[in-house]
Structure 1
C-alpha cells in the first residue's frame, strides 16, 4: 500500500478546522459521519494500484509453458503425435494431474482422459469432469505407473500441449537411459537369444545416445526429438530385452566425439556392401570421418541382412501413374521409350536417372528424389536404397517393364546396423565396431 502512484487525486476541505465548540451535539455527530466517509474514499484511492503495462503477459505465458515442458537436464522430450484431431490415453497406476502449472488432483488406474483442441486451447474430459487449458502434465507417483497411448506403453511424464498451427502435441518426457530402452529394440530388433550380437547393441547404444544429445541441444520449445524415422524410432517402454538393458548399462553416459565435440552420427539398416559419402545424401558440411568405403574386405558385413538383395519391377503403366502422381508429367497420353541410369556415385548408388519419352522432353530424377519416386510394391514405404541396377524389357521402341535389382536398405551413411551385428558375431568389440564405422572418433562421457 502506498507504493503505487494513484491516477486520481482528491482534495479534501475538512470542516473540523473550525473550533468544535461552535457545534451542537447533533452537528458534531453529523460531522464525524462525513469525516469517516471522506477517510474511506481517500483510503480507497490512495491504495489503488497504477495502471500497468500488460504486454509482458504473452511472454510470461511462454516462459511458464517452457518451464513446465523443459524438465530436468537428464531428461529428453519425445514427440509422439502432432495432430488437430482428439487424443485419448489410459492411466495404469497413479499420476498427478497438473493443468497450466497448477495441480488439480490425481488420476488413477483405468481412468481415461480425452483431449481435444477447442477455442485456442485444449479441453480434457475424464469421468464427469471437464477442464480447459494450454498445457496438461501427468506425472507418475511411482516407477510402475505407465500411460497407454496409441497401443503403446510409456513411462515417465506425459505432456499435452496446445501448440502452433492449432495442433495438439503429445509428448513423453523421460530420462535419457529410459528413452534408449525404447529405441534399441525398435531400431536393432535383437532377440533375447542372440547374445552374440550384444557388442553391436552396445555400439548402437552409444550412437543413439549421441544422436539424442545432439537433438536435445537443438530442441525447440516443446520437444527435442520425434519418435519415428525422422529421427530414431522409439517404441515406448516395456519391449526391451535383458540384452538391450545390458548394452545401455554397460555404456552409461558414453557418447561418440570428434575433436572433443559430439560427433555427427548417421545410421541405416544395411548398406548393401558400400558405405556412402554423406555429401551425396545430406546438405551442409559434414565432418571427414564419414566416408564412402567398402563394408568389409571380402564379403560385405551386412550380407546377413534380409534386404541385402532385393528386386522391384514396374510396368509402363505403373511408371506413368507414378510420374503423374508426382506431377512430373501432365495427364496427357505419354509413351515411355526407355529408362536409364545416367550417372552414379563412386559407391555405385544412382546419382541420376533419365526417363525417355516419345516426342517430348526427358524426365530426369536426381539422387534426392529417386527413392521417394519408386514406392515399393508391397506398399511398405519408399524404395529400399538407391544402390541398384536396371534390366529392361523393350518392344517396338516402347518400354514394357523395368526391374530394379538392388542391395541394402537406407541411405548407407555411417553406422550399418546389420553390418555391426555381423561384426559382433565375429567377436569384434563395440569399440572396434564404432572405430570401423566412425574412424577418427573417440568415446567420451556426458555429465
Structure 2
C-alpha cells in the first residue's frame, strides 16, 4: 500500500517562503602531550584581533546563493534561526573554516559535536573537550571531508556545507547550502510520500513543482524590492512548512530520487517566467483560484480547476484521508478558540476594540462563497459585536481547542443555539485539506494511477504553464 502524502498542517508559503576582517597577526597552534593524540584537533591559524561589527554584519558578504556547483545552482536553507547554541557533528571527518575556505579554524576526525557560541557579532566553535576555535566574524563554514561523510544538525544528516551566522535578532543561524537537485532529494519524499510504481508520475509532478518554487525564491527570480531584501539575509528558504519541508539525507527515498532525476532541471513557466507553484494535500473536489485564498490579485495560471473524474461523480483525490471531514465544538470550546484567535484575523469595528473580550457567541453565518465553492467570508456575531473573517484566515480562527487549524474552507455550517440564544454547539462538515491553490497532491496521485504523465498533471493544476528547463 502506498503511504499517504504529507498533510499540510499550516498555510504554505509555496504559495504565495563575510569575509572576516583581516587579523593583525597570525598564530599557529601546536597541540602537544595528550592533545596530540586526541581525535579532535583545533587549528588556530588566524588571530582574533578584529573590529567588532553591528548585529547582522556577518551576512553582508555571505557566500553567493546562486553559485553553480556540479551543474546545479546553490540554494541556502535555514535549519535553525536565532538558536541559542546550535551543535554540528558529522558521520566522519569534518573541518571548520572562514567563508573563503582558506583559513581552517578547527578539524574533527571522530564526528563529535561542536557547539557554536556567539559574542556580539563574533562566533566560535567549542569542542566536547573544551578546545575552541578563535572568535571570528561569520559566516563560519563547516564541510565534511572524505567519501561518504556528512554533516549533521539536530540528529539529521545534510549534504553540502553548513554556514553559521550571527542572527540579526540574536542567537545563531545555521544554513545548509547545497545544489538544488540535492536539496530536492530531502524535500520531495516529505512533501508527497507516495512511493508505489503507479505513483511515479505524481512524484515527478511534485519534483517539478518543488523545483519551480525553489527557483522562484532565488534573488534573481524575485521582483527587485524582494530581491534586495533577500540579498540582505543569509538564506533563501526555511526547512519547514513556511516554505518546503526539508529533512536532509535521512528523508531521501529511491522512488523520489528517480523522479527527481527523471525531471532534472525542469520547472514550470508562464509567459517565460518561472512560477511559484503552490501545492497542498487534497482539494476536496475542485482547486481554488489564488485570489480565493491569498488575494488580492489573481494569477492566471492558478485558476479554479475541477478534480472530477470524467463521466463519474467521483474525484481524483477521493482516496485522501481528509477528502471528507467533520469538526465540532461545544459552547465552552468554541469560546476558548474564538477568544484566542478571532481578533487576530477578523475585520470590523469589534475586531479593533483591543483588549475587550469577544463576548458570548450568538451566531456564525456564511457570508458568501468563492468560485470553487469555498467559504469566502464568515460572520461571527457575539455580545461584543460582529466580526468578519475572510478566505484562508477562517482556517486559523476555527482551530481545535488544541490549536490545529481547520483542514480547509470547503465546508458547511451547522450552529445549534440554546434557549438563551447562545451557540451551544458548532459543527462543520467539509472536504479537502489545505489552502486549495495549485496542485492537489492526492489528485496528482489519483491521476498518476489513472495513467496520466507528469506533464498532463501539471498542465491540469497550473493551466497555461509549460514545463521547460530552468536554465
TM-score with structure 2 length normalisation? 0.77
Matches within 5 A, 1:383-398: 383-396=406-419, 397-398=421-422
Whether the 8 Å contact between 1:99 and 1:136 is mirrored in structure 2 is yes
Paired position in structure 2 for 1:88? 87
Asked whether 1:162 is paired with 2:166, we answer yes
Deviation string, structure 1 residues 234-261 (Cα, Å, up to 9, x no partner)? 1111322211111011111111111222
2:177 match: secondary structure: strand
Corresponding residue for residue 13 of structure 2: none
Distance 1:63 1:326, change over 3 A: closer
2:131 corresponding residue in structure 1: 129
User: In 1, distance between residues paired with 2:66 and 2:171?
Assistant: 19
Displacement of 1:411 after TM fit? 0.7
C-alpha contact (below 8 Å) 1:70/1:222 kept by paired residues:
no
- Unpaired runs of 5+ in structure 2? 1-50, 223-229, 344-350
The answer to whether structure 1 residue 244 and structure 2 residue 256 are counterparts is: yes
Instruction: Decide which moves more: 127-136 or 421-430.
Output: 127-136
From 353, 360, 363, the counterpart of 1:338: 363
Distance in 2, matches of 1:241 and 1:90, equals 23
Tell whether 2:424 aligns with 1:409: no
Equivalent in 363, 372, 377 of residue 396 of structure 2: 372
1:279 aligns with 2:280: no
Per-residue Cα deviation, 1:368-398 (whole angstroms, up to 9, x for no partner): 421111223564x311111111122222122
**Residues 358, 382 of structure 2: 8 Å contact kept:** no
- Name whichever structure is richer in helix by fraction: 1
CA-atom RMSD in angstroms: 2.4
- Please say if 1:65 is aligned against 2:88: no
Give per-residue Cα distances to partners, 1:170-196, cap 9 Å, x unaligned: 1111111111110011100123xx110
**Aligned counterpart in structure 2 of residue 214 of structure 1, from 216, 234, 238:** 216
CA contact (8 A) 2:58 2:166 kept: no
Computing the radius of gyration from Cα coordinates, the structure with the larger value is 1
Give distance in 2, aligned partners of 1:104 and 1:116.
14
- Following superposition, the deviation at residue 277 of structure 1 comes to 0.8
Residues 149-176 of structure 1: per-residue CA shift (max 9 Å, x gap): 1232112101111121223111111111
Structure 1: state its 5+ residue gaps. 1-54
Separation (CA, whole Å) in 2 of partners of 1:171 and 1:351? 38
CA contact (8 A) 1:215 1:225 kept: yes
- Show the 5 A alignment for 1:23-422: 65-67=61-63, 71-72=67-68, 74-99=73-98, 101=100, 102-126=103-127, 127-131=129-133, 132-133=135-136, 134-191=138-195, 194-217=196-219, 218=222, 219-220=230-231, 221-283=233-295, 285-296=297-308, 297=310, 298=312, 299-326=314-341, 328=343, 334-358=359-383, 360-377=384-401, 379=403, 381-396=404-419, 397-422=421-446
CA contact (8 A) 2:90 2:151 kept: yes
SS at match of 2:260: helix
Q: What TM-score, normalized by structure 1, do the two folds share?
A: 0.81
Three-state SS of the structure 1 residue aligned to 2:302 is coil
Q: Offset at 1:224? A: 1.2
Moved more, 419-428 or 394-403: 394-403
Q: 1:378 to 1:189 in 2, by over 3 A?
A: farther
Shift of 1:312: 1.1
Secondary structure of the residue that 1:304 maps to in structure 2? coil
Instruction: Work out which structure has the larger RCO, using CA pairs closer than 8 Å and 6 or more positions apart in sequence.
Output: 2
Question: How many aligned residue pairs are there?
Answer: 387
Cα distance change, pair 104–120 in 1 and its aligned pair in 2 (3 A): closer
